[in-house]
Structure 1
Amino acid sequence: MAVTDKIYFPGLNGIRFIAAFSVIIHHVEQTKYFANLPNVWGKNVFIDSLGHRGVSLFFTLSGFLITYLLLAEIEKTGTVNVVKFYIRRTLRIWPLYYFVVLFTFFVLPFFITLPGISGEHYTGFYVKLFLYLVLLPNIARQMFGNSLVLGSNQAWSVGIEEQFYAFWPWLIRWFRNHILKFLVAFIVLKTFVSVVLIWTIQHFSDASWIRYVDFANTAWRFLQIEQMAVGAVGAYFLFKGMRHVMKLVYHPIVMWGAFLAIVGSLMVHVSFLGFSILEAIAYTIAILNISTNPLCPVKLNASWLQKMGDISYGIYMYHTICLAIVIRLLMGVNMHNTSWVGFNVLMYTVPGVLTLLVSWLSYRYFELWFINLKKRFMVVKSATLKNEEFDR
């Protein structure tokens, strides 16, 4: 596929917003759980699945878009400029990530406390802080469980994406002449290691060292890089213009099958080895249809969705802070005891509105400066709006 002046995929911003919004709904119930209030977190399959599916959608979408841009860069220049890649990712991810981390570690606890969570803030404080600062919040989450950092526990998935970005441009550059074989081998290897870890746990359950294997297995399972690799396979098929594959992806049965599978996965609890790969395949089919199939009836390129997608990173990073603030205020006026219906209505509306406002202000007056600086290090230009000059 020839590299044009600007790469644009309609609908991707809408997908980003849907993924971010689904996580908010999940965390409303989780925040009530941590605050020792009546909730359905862990009890309602739909609420429980919504957040997990949203994060998986983020992972798949990241693998798709990043790999497509890397393939375009290889076609344009013959290689991948890894230094510029790191600079672009740093300028987009780090400013907001570190702002939220430092705010939630050192500022938020002095203003907001919640029963059941704030008391654990200083448990392993310096270890958690170190892991967050070196972009390993997923390890902190696993090590400390419910000893959370109020307002930034969701950063675990950002850490995984950053760990993915650390090695992915190198691998794409090294295997640029055998991309598809590499991607398939990568997914197989990730699954094989999972099988070995699970087998070891099952057959050596009484060994004194098995707790370390169990820790590694959990960390490996949450490191959902196989979903990013599946998204990358979709990017490869699209970029290489493999018509027979894309014709299959666009077939109504396949397209609607993917959409129904995504909806169905929200209604039942599914957990088995390989499910994350099947889930990512469904997401990749949906992403390809929404963004590249003109006959796809699902359109996510409305102007308001584009704007929401622009601030989706902020939505994801700020929403737990906003949830904590709102639930503390409502509990402060005893709303949870005087009007449980009113309390829940406000919990499902006010944090969302506050999150959108804070995210827009952050994007407009903080993140945008770094995004504009990122332009200097672009090798291939991409955009979230058709008439936009550069990637936002």
Structure 2
Amino acid sequence: MSKSSNTVYFPNLNGVRFIAAFSVLIHHIEQVKEVFKVPNFYDNHLIKNMGKLGVDLFFVLSGFLITYLLLHERGRFGHINTRNFYVRRILRIWPLYFLIVILAFFVFPSIPLFVPPNNEISFMAHNFYRRLSLFLLVLPNIGFILYNSPYLAAQTWSIGVEEQFYYLWPWIVKNFSWKRLLLTITVFCLGTFAVFFIYYRWVGNTQYANNVPEIVRFFFSQFRIITLMTGGGCAMLVYYKKEKVLNVLFQKDVQLLVYSALILSLATGFHISGLNLEYYGLFFGYFILNLAANPRSVVNLEYGWISYLGKISYGIYIYQTAFIVASVHLIHWTLGENLSPLTFNLIVYPLSASLTIGVSALSYRYFETPFLTLKHRFSKH
């Protein structure tokens, strides 16, 4: 780890973003193929869970970085400037988030290249403003639960989860006490249930017309607070220099044992009902901990092309479904719909990846960077 008075940098973490983004990309390619009713591998246990696991890896990484940065700020200045924290997060997350929301609600449905064959136009005619209002409130996970979401913006549910974690976490880290923790969680839960109540009772016409328990279950199944806190716990081990624990976790034999267990679990489809993502989150936390802070890590992701793809991974995550759909349409329109599965896959994977990467690179350079350059103004106390 390299740390200066103004910045904190951990090696390899752009590589983690790369792995997470491309895990979701592979999952979505197979999912889109299923939507188009072309031969696919979406029922394979690894492919079907790859998207969830990729998002979980993002969550653990986010918990790690946000917690470490908050602890670093508190240690350096004696307090955490929550206003500046939220402005920095807004500058990073909101521009691209609102762009895909606008595109998915108002632009893509009118462009045949981006319309999937799953009755999207008919679906969009129902509950349009109810759904849109939640997305504009940056509550896409709640919009997804109550009214579903446009297919090309469905991935934004995880942005809602991250945003809600940001609402909670600075206040807990700022001056930790069990009383503050309980108060923060209580206020958050009351606010969340107030939103559900307003839309369920007064706005109405939700997917779960008479099933409040299902709404609550769905929300908390998506709200991966334990996974995010796993990353936070790993950050605390590094920040507070828990050498006795770290020396054990950083041993080469331990790394090989843990990674072998992870590979075996993934290969066999090992599943723990109700806690499966939290189980894999522990592996991801260990992986990130070693990559970020262990100079003897057996895995190295510090390669230029991997780091670059990790740097633009937010765009890759946001744009990928739209350009996978576009890729399938382009293949069908130019080469027909009777290609062999092998030929189709040899075209759709590189075409989807190259279009997504190209658009994400342009987006990062010309759309996201102007907002990111403003972040330094809100790093001072």
TM-score interval, normalised by the smaller of the two chains = 0.7 to 0.9
Which aligned pairs between 1:200-349 and structure 2 lie closer than 5 A? 211-267=211-267, 268-333=269-334, 335-349=336-350
1:178, 1:9 → 2: CA distance? Answer: 30
Alpha-carbon offset, residue 150 of structure 1: 3.0
Residue 128 (structure 2) aligned to one of 125, 130, 133? 125
**Which secondary structure does the structure 1 equivalent of 2:151 belong to?**
coil
1:117, 1:26 → 2: CA distance? Answer: 21
Alpha-carbon offset, residue 2 of structure 1: 11
Aligned partner of 2:88 in structure 1 is 88
Alpha-carbon offset, residue 258 of structure 1: 2.9
Aligned partner of 1:199 in structure 2 is none
2:3, 2:16 → 1: CA distance? Answer: 24
Inter-CA distance 254–272: structure 2 relative to 1 (3 Å threshold): farther
Aligned partner of 2:193 in structure 1 is none
Which amino acid in the other structure matches residue 258 of structure 1?
A: V
Alpha-carbon offset, residue 294 of structure 1: 1.4
Inter-CA distance 282–73: structure 2 relative to 1 (3 Å threshold): same
1:343, 1:120 → 2: CA distance? Answer: 28
Alpha-carbon offset, residue 174 of structure 1: 3.0
Contact residue 252 and residue 298 of structure 2 kept, 8 A: no
Of 266-275 and 316-325, deviating more is 266-275
**Which secondary structure does the structure 2 equivalent of 1:348 belong to?**
helix
Residue 142 (structure 2) aligned to one of 136, 139, 143? 139
1:99, 1:265 → 2: CA distance? Answer: 37
Inter-CA distance 133–262: structure 2 relative to 1 (3 Å threshold): farther
Which amino acid in the other structure matches residue 256 of structure 1?
A: L
Alpha-carbon offset, residue 338 of structure 1: 3.7
Aligned partner of 2:59 in structure 1 is 59
Q: Deviations over 1:110-159 (max 9, x none)?
A: 113221242423332222211211112112222345xx413211111111
Alpha-carbon offset, residue 171 of structure 1: 1.4
Alpha-carbon offset, residue 329 of structure 1: 1.8
Inter-CA distance 13–178: structure 2 relative to 1 (3 Å threshold): farther
Contact residue 62 and residue 231 of structure 2 kept, 8 A: yes
Which aligned pairs between 1:152-191 and structure 2 lie closer than 5 A? 152-175=153-176
Q: Does 1:79 align with 2:79?
A: yes
Which amino acid in the other structure matches residue 358 of structure 2?
A: L
Which amino acid in the other structure matches residue 219 of structure 2?
A: A
2:365, 2:231 → 1: CA distance? Answer: 30
Aligned partner of 1:114 in structure 2 is 116
Aligned partner of 1:356 in structure 2 is 357
1:367, 1:265 → 2: CA distance? Answer: 37
2:300, 2:250 → 1: CA distance? Answer: 15
Contact residue 34 and residue 117 of structure 1 kept, 8 A: no
Which amino acid in the other structure matches residue 160 of structure 1?
A: V
Which aligned pairs between 1:19-38 and structure 2 lie closer than 5 A? 19-38=20-39
1:353, 1:2 → 2: CA distance? Answer: 33
Inter-CA distance 352–329: structure 2 relative to 1 (3 Å threshold): same
**Which secondary structure does the structure 1 equivalent of 2:65 belong to?**
helix
Alpha-carbon offset, residue 3 of structure 1: 6.6
**Which secondary structure does the structure 2 equivalent of 1:76 belong to?**
helix
1:103, 1:265 → 2: CA distance? Answer: 38
Q: Percent of aligned pairs with the same residue?
A: 37
Inter-CA distance 301–182: structure 2 relative to 1 (3 Å threshold): farther
Which amino acid in the other structure matches residue 4 of structure 1?
A: S
2:137, 2:209 → 1: CA distance? Answer: 27
Contact residue 138 and residue 159 of structure 1 kept, 8 A: yes
1:379, 1:239 → 2: CA distance? Answer: 21
Which amino acid in the other structure matches residue 257 of structure 1?
A: L
Q: Deviations over 1:224-252 (max 9, x none)?
A: 01111111011011100011111122123
Inter-CA distance 34–128: structure 2 relative to 1 (3 Å threshold): farther
Contact residue 117 and residue 150 of structure 1 kept, 8 A: no
TM (norm. structure 1) is 0.84
Gapped runs of 5+ residues in structure 2? 190-207
Supply the RMSD in Å over aligned alpha carbons: 2.6
Which amino acid in the other structure matches residue 286 of structure 1?
A: F
Contact residue 35 and residue 114 of structure 1 kept, 8 A: yes
The structure 1 segments of at least 4 consecutive aligned residues displaced by more than 4 Å after TM superposition are none
Which amino acid in the other structure matches residue 87 of structure 2?
A: I
Which amino acid in the other structure matches residue 121 of structure 1?
A: M
Q: Deviations over 1:260-315 (max 9, x none)?
A: 33323432051423333322221111111112111112101111111111101010
Inter-CA distance 91–281: structure 2 relative to 1 (3 Å threshold): same
TM (norm. structure 2) is 0.86
**Which secondary structure does the structure 2 equivalent of 1:365 belong to?**
helix
